[in-house]
Amino acid sequence: MKTHIHFKSCITAVKAYRVMHDDFHILSSLLCLCATTYYNLLIFINKTRTPLGMKILASGDLHGDQGLAKKLAEKAEKEKVDLVILCGDITHFDKSTTNMIGPFVQRKQKVLFVPGNHDSFATADFLAEFYGVKNLHGYSVKYGDVGIFGAGGANIGVAQLTDKETYDLLKKGFEKIKGLDKKIMVTHVHPSGTKMEKFTKFFAGSEGIRKAVDKFKPDILLCSHVHEAEGIEEMVGKTRVINVGKQGKIIEI
């Protein structure tokens, strides 16, 4: 009788152990699932949020100056920028393409650019493909909740566009990022009706770019083109318009 009771107790203990083991297994699985979900959520947040203190080095009008390109790349490295933006006239009538983008890429810096009136569209496409960087001409990119779109060329030079063509290209890029919180527009030419026009008798501002500023209301417009207006900033409506110049301008978002 005692042996029978002892045997039944053993069976009960085994069953209880199995229940506890199963419960532990379920609990462990749930904990692993929660940890995995939390980890994936952190990755998603880091990929989609606006980078705090995003820093940009913007420059333009290098005109084939390899030494200047190297200095700008060194400046970008020293300032620990997140992004380099070149606002056109990287080459001088398509000459001296060597080592104009390379110094940035060698330092593993992200580069966006638009062609200027001295860069043909074919050369711009070549530079983008050869160095694996982004030509913004008619396109856009997203960095978290920051959208950047642009159009290059001018109404003179080897990359000529009408005001309508420029506006249409900017509109095409804007449509892809219009829902984001922060928007940056990149062009070579300045908008018409701005202070920058007072620095030159030869290069009128673009009515197409001005129309895009008025309609799309980007937070920032980066341009170059008029060398004498380097560093000039002004507000056009709610848009901060900056002639970044060849020495480069640090912009923080």
What is the distance between the terminal CA atoms of the chain, rounded to a whole angstrom?
A: 83
Domain CATH code at residue 78: 3.60.21.10
Reply yes or no on whether the pLDDT at 10 is more than 50. no
- Structural domain for 19, as ranges: 1-48
Greater confidence (137 vs 47) lies with: 137
The answer to whether 251 touches 83, Cβ cutoff 8 Å, is: no
What is the per-residue pLDDT across 17-37, written as a single tens digit (0 to 9) for each? 454 555 545 545 544 454 454
Note the pLDDT of residue 201. 65
Check whether residue 211 and residue 129 sit in a common domain.
yes
Q: What is the pTM of this model?
A: 0.79
Note the pLDDT of residue 24. 45
List the single range of 16-20, 74-78, 122-126 with lowest mean pLDDT. Answer: 16-20
Check whether residue 106 and residue 215 sit in a common domain.
yes
Check whether residue 94 and residue 104 sit in a common domain.
yes
Q: How far apart are CA 33 and CA 223, in angstroms?
A: 49
The answer to whether 246 touches 86, Cβ cutoff 8 Å, is: no
Note the pLDDT of residue 42. 43
